[in-house]
């Protein structure tokens, strides 16, 4: 089971706002990402990579994903690969991507709370996925990667969310599957809740000592009120 932070006295922690990461937290998108990377590599003549290796590259923004997958910082090659990936991923980002088990119930359970999304995934990918999975009506604000906002672990996405929704940092929680989520939350003064079911290494995530940690998404319903 997950755990509750020792510093908190009540088992059910009162919050106003849940801020979710996307990939590895709300949705299982790793197969579509890996397939699109390998379609790209096949097209431009690079050797394909094992899916498990590509999964490790998810979470730091799409350009860094391509840099890591290519294994080079050659700007011309990265730009060409990124442009090719964009076409493939836009065509395939909903082939196999689905909500993680229990997420629909969690969102319905917290329908009277403010709910936000803060993701390093580019905004145009995020918008297409949110629309395709019928999630837009459940979220008060959705922030994806764009040229005018810094990616997590910088706290800008979270700070912007708090400002727009008029919620104090201590009354929110950042829920995510990566160290980027934890570090952004800490910098913004927001409690962090790690998830073991996502793309991140659960042992590494636990060692970072987030305020909360869950094994399954439905634990959120007994952790927060």
21 as an active site residue: the answer is: yes
The candidate with the shortest Cα–Cα distance to 37, out of 66, 61, 58, 78, is: 66
User: Measured between alpha carbons, how far is 49 from 158 in angstroms, rounded to an integer?
Assistant: 33
Tokens coding 129: 């996925």
- Exactly one of 21, 23, 28, 181 is catalytic; which is it? 21
The candidate with the shortest Cα–Cα distance to 217, out of 134, 130, 141, 110, is: 110
- How far is CA 162 from each of CA 19, 41, 104, 189, rounded to the nearest angstrom? 9, 40, 23, 11
Cis amide bond preceding 153, omega within 30: yes
Concatenated DSSP letters of 111-124? TTSEEEEEEEEEHH
Active site residues: 21
């Amino acid at each position: 089971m997950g755990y509750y932070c020792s510093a908190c006295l009540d088992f059910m922690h009162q919050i106003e706002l849940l801020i979710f990461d996307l990939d590895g937290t709300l949705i299982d998108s790793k197969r579509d990402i890996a397939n699109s990377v390998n379609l790209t590599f096949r097209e431009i003549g690079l050797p394909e990579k094992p899916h498990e290796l590509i999964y490790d590259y998810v979470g730091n923004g799409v350009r860094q994903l391509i840099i890591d997958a290519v294994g080079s910082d050659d700007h011309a090659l990265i730009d060409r690969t990124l442009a090719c990936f964009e076409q493939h991923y836009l065509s395939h980002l909903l082939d196999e991507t689905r909500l993680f088990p229990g997420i629909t119930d969690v969102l319905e359970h917290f329908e009277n709370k403010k709910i936000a999304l803060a993701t390093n995934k580019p905004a145009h990918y995020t918008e297409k996925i949110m629309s395709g999975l019928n999630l837009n009506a459940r979220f008060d604000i959705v922030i994806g990667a764009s040229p005018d906002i810094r990616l997590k672990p910088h706290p800008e996405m979270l700070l912007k969310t708090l400002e727009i929704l008029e919620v104090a940092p201590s009354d929110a929680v950042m829920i995510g599957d990566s160290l980027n989520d934890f570090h952004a939350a800490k910098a913004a003064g927001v409690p962090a809740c790690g998830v073991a079911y996502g793309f991140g290494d659960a042992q590494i995530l636990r060692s970072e000592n987030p305020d909360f940690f869950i094994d399954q998404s439905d634990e959120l319903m007994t952790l927060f009120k």
